[in-house]
């Protein structure tokens, strides 16, 4: 019942729907009392010889009318009750989705995609059932049980009622035992389902790699193991659930045996009629539903409790990019940073140390360095993809990042990563993702600047060509250029190219960079790359090594230092000459 207390905030907000459902359920419970009473009266009249055709026709007609009325009320209470529970599911899914959108990269490094999907689907469905069917089982079961027992005690025979209820304490004990078993079994089942989801997601995402290395059978064996674990866990849940039915039927059978035996003795003593015993057994049959309802309630609440704990653990995760301010980020401002040290987690070595600088509007900053030097980490800090620690101060204009609303800050930045993500929509829609109201003419202009317009026009459906999941139908260079076109269409104050030209040839890279200089005059740019030729026009270039700045200056200044930059530039010049056959 603790779950219902935790969901009380929702029940209060939807009290009208639940109240209507409860009133309708009460009406159904009361109307259900009449058919057994009418049947018992007909039996006594038939035995006494006073039953005629007219009375039989009227009573049967009344039973039919009651059945129609009960059908209508059942339809209405289902409509009211389940619409409320589905609203809870929709609300929780919205909360989870909004929460996931606001998480930092650290969060996604610690949570697997399959587990997040399982919590967003199966777990919320279990909570929906707790807010719908469990409420039905709780209220209708209690109401039916109280009304029928009251009727049996007061209007038929309290002695026979006590005799019929003798086996019930045993049912309560077994339900308590089954309930404990259900909790552990369902918790393991949900975890196994998450693991299986993770396996499916990873294998589909890496299907090309699996095929390239001939790992299909290995992946199949691993997945089969996950499926077997999920199967066994769900079988344990079903095995626990299956124990409710036999307990109920055994208790009900014994209860009916006691009732019929006791009723026969009372009839023999002359203190009960056959019609009254008939009505009693029919009413006793109504008590089967409260028994099932109680077992069903425990089942649903255990599922919902486990699921709600998993959802709350997700919503209470502390990896949000917080705090968020209330100010609106200006369209053009100086980006300033002073990173004394940055650690991904406590106890780890510093990923970045002693890095300070600024980038004024209209200038270009280049970031280079060997693999693992901290280039991407620095970019993620400068674009608020990672939350700055206490040892980092990053400001945009006159205020730190956390003084601005995240949305207004995001609108000032257009980021293109080395591995851009494309959605399973048309090419035009992918380019216009950040500017959904852009016209096709504007989309084509951005594509031309990114040197992808000709490639798109060569497709049979042009800009309306549907992109496969994650852009699987396109080459790496095409995906990068579409992502660049998307960023250019946004026309943000700050453009960040995080090794976004690695999959294009040198000539295409030069053309794109030339287009950027011509069409983004007065705009700020950060370029992370391996080809140093892309940074010849940058106002400042910083060279990172082991998370520190080892060189900084313009392209010509760095060449004169005779350091890492000079050596890498000479090597790349020689490499290009060999490629061109000089």
Would 507 be classed as within a structural domain?
Answer: no
Q: Could you tell me the pLDDT band of residue 366, with boundaries at 50, 70 and 90?
A: very high
Query: In 3D, which of 201, 412, 427, 215 has the Cα closest to residue 327?
Result: 412
Cα separation, 414 vs 496, whole angstroms: 6
Do 291 and 345 fall into the same domain?
no
Across the range 6-13, mean pLDDT stands at 82
User: The domain that contains 309 carries what CATH number?
Assistant: 1.20.1560.10
Would 386 be classed as within a structural domain?
Answer: yes
pLDDT at 320 over 70: no
Across the range 5-28, mean pLDDT stands at 83
Across the range 132-161, mean pLDDT stands at 80
- Domain count across the chain: 2
- Would you state the pLDDT for residue 445? 92
Across the range 415-420, mean pLDDT stands at 84
Could you give the percent of the chain with pLDDT greater than 90? 12
SS3 label, residue 493: coil
Do 111 and 201 fall into the same domain?
yes
HEC string of 522-575 equals CCEEEEECCCHHHHCCCCEEEEEECCEEEEEECHHHHHHCCCHHHHHHHHHHHH
The domain boundary residue, chosen from 315, 345, 378: 315
> Which range marks the domain in which residue 163 is found?
82-315
Would 47 be classed as within a structural domain?
Answer: no
Do 153 and 223 fall into the same domain?
yes
Do 363 and 300 fall into the same domain?
no
Would 54 be classed as within a structural domain?
Answer: no
Across the range 378-385, mean pLDDT stands at 88
Across the range 415-435, mean pLDDT stands at 87
- Would you state the pLDDT for residue 318? 65
pLDDT at 46 over 80: no
pLDDT greater at residue 560 or residue 219? 560
Cα separation, 391 vs 69, whole angstroms: 71
Would 535 be classed as within a structural domain?
Answer: no
pLDDT at 398 over 70: yes
Would 2 be classed as within a structural domain?
Answer: no
Q: Could you tell me the pLDDT band of residue 444, with boundaries at 50, 70 and 90?
A: very high
Do 342 and 306 fall into the same domain?
no
SS3 label, residue 356: strand
Do 379 and 251 fall into the same domain?
no
Do 91 and 191 fall into the same domain?
yes
Do 354 and 296 fall into the same domain?
no
pLDDT at 365 over 90: yes
At 61-79, the pLDDT tens digits run 888 888 888 888 888 877 8
Across the range 115-128, mean pLDDT stands at 84
User: The domain that contains 352 carries what CATH number?
Assistant: 3.40.50.300
Cα separation, 23 vs 73, whole angstroms: 10
For all residues of the chain together, what is the average pLDDT?
Answer: 83
Least confident interval from 20-24, 112-116, 316-320: 316-320
- Would you state the pLDDT for residue 544? 93
Do 146 and 291 fall into the same domain?
yes
Do 308 and 387 fall into the same domain?
no
Cα separation, 24 vs 73, whole angstroms: 6
User: In sequence order, which residues have a C-beta less than 8 Å from that of residue 63 and are 6 or more positions away?
Assistant: 34, 35, 38, 39
- Would you state the pLDDT for residue 367? 93
pLDDT at 543 over 90: yes
Do 130 and 268 fall into the same domain?
yes
What count of residues does the chain have? Answer: 582
Would 534 be classed as within a structural domain?
Answer: no
Across the range 109-115, mean pLDDT stands at 77
The domain boundary residue, chosen from 281, 315, 349: 315
pLDDT greater at residue 328 or residue 144? 328
The domain boundary residue, chosen from 257, 281, 315: 315
Would 258 be classed as within a structural domain?
Answer: yes
- Would you state the pLDDT for residue 442? 92
Across the range 491-499, mean pLDDT stands at 89
pLDDT at 51 over 80: no
Query: In 3D, which of 302, 300, 171 has the Cα closest to residue 245?
Result: 171
Query: Token pair for residue 445?
Result: 């202009």
Do 350 and 276 fall into the same domain?
no
pLDDT at 225 over 80: yes
- Would you state the pLDDT for residue 359? 92
- Most confident of the following: 225-234, 296-305, 569-578: 225-234
């Amino acid at each position: 019942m603790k779950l219902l207390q935790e969901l009380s905030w929702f029940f209060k907000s939807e009290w009208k729907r639940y109240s209507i459902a409860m009133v309708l359920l009460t009406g159904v419970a009361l109307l259900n009392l009449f058919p057994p009473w009418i049947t018992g009266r007909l039996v006594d009249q038939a035995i006494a010889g006073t039953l005629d055709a007219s009375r039989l026709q009227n009573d049967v007609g009344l039973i039919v009318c009651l059945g129609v009325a009960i059908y209508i009320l059942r339809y209405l209470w289902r409509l009211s009750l389940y619409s409320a529970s589905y609203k809870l599911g929709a609300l929780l899914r919205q909360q989870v989705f909004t929460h996931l959108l606001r998480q930092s990269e650290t969060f996604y490094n610690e949570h697997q995609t399959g587990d997040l999907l399982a919590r967003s689907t199966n777990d919320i469905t279990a909570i929906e059932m707790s807010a719908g069917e469990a409420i039905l089982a709780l209220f209708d079961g209690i109401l039916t049980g109280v009304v029928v027992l009251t009727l049996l005690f007061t209007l038929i025979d309290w002695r026979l009622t006590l005799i019929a209820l003798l086996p019930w304490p045993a049912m309560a004990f077994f339900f308590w035992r089954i309930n404990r078993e259900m909790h552990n079994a369902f918790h393991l089942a949900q975890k196994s389902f998450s693991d299986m989801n993770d396996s499916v997601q990873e294998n589909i995402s890496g299907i090309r790699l699996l095929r390239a290395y001939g790992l299909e059978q290995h992946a199949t064996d691993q997945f089969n193991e996950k499926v077997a674990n999920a199967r066994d866990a769900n079988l344990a849940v079903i095995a626990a659930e299956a124990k409710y039915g036999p307990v109920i039927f055994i208790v009900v059978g014994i209860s009916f045996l006691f009732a019929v035996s006791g009723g026969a003795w009372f009839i023999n003593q002359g203190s009960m009629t056959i019609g009254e015993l008939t009505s009693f057994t029919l009413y006793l049959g109504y008590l089967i539903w409260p028994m099932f309802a109680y077992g069903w309630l425990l089942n649903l609440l255990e599922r919902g409790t486990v699921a709600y704990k998993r959802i709350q653990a997700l919503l209470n995760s502390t990896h949000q990019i917080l705090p968020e301010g209330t100010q609106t980020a200006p369209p053009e401002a100086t980006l300033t940073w002073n990173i004394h040290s940055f650690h991904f987690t406590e106890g780890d070595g510093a990923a970045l140390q002693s890095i300070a600088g600024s980038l004024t509007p209209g200038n270009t900053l280049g970031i280079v360095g060997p693999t693992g030097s901290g280039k991407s980490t620095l970019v993620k800090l400068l674009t608020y993809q990672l939350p700055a620690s206490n040892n980092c101060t990053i400001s945009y204009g006159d205020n730190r990042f956390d003084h601005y609303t995240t949305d207004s800050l995001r609108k000032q930045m257009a980021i293109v990563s080395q591995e851009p993500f494309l959605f399973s929509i048309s090419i035009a829609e992918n380019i216009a993702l950040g500017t959904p109201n852009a016209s096709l003419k504007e989309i084509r202009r951005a594509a031309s600047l990114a040197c992808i317009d000709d490639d798109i026009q060569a497709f049979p459906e042009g800009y309306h060509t549907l992109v496969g999941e994650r852009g699987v139908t396109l080459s790496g260079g095409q995906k990068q250029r579409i992502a660049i076109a998307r960023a250019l269409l946004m026309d943000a104050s700050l453009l960040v190219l995080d090794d976004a030209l690695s999959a294009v040839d040198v000539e295409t890279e030069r053309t794109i960079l030339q287009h950027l200089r011509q069409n983004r005059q007065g705009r700020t740019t950060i370029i992370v790359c391996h080809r140093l030729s892309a940074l010849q026009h940058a106002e400042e270039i910083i060279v990172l090594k082991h998370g520190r700045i080892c060189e900084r200056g313009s392209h010509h200044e760095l060449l004169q230092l005779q350091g890492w930059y000079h050596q890498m530039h000479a090597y790349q010049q020689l490499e290009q000459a060999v490629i061109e056959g000089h």
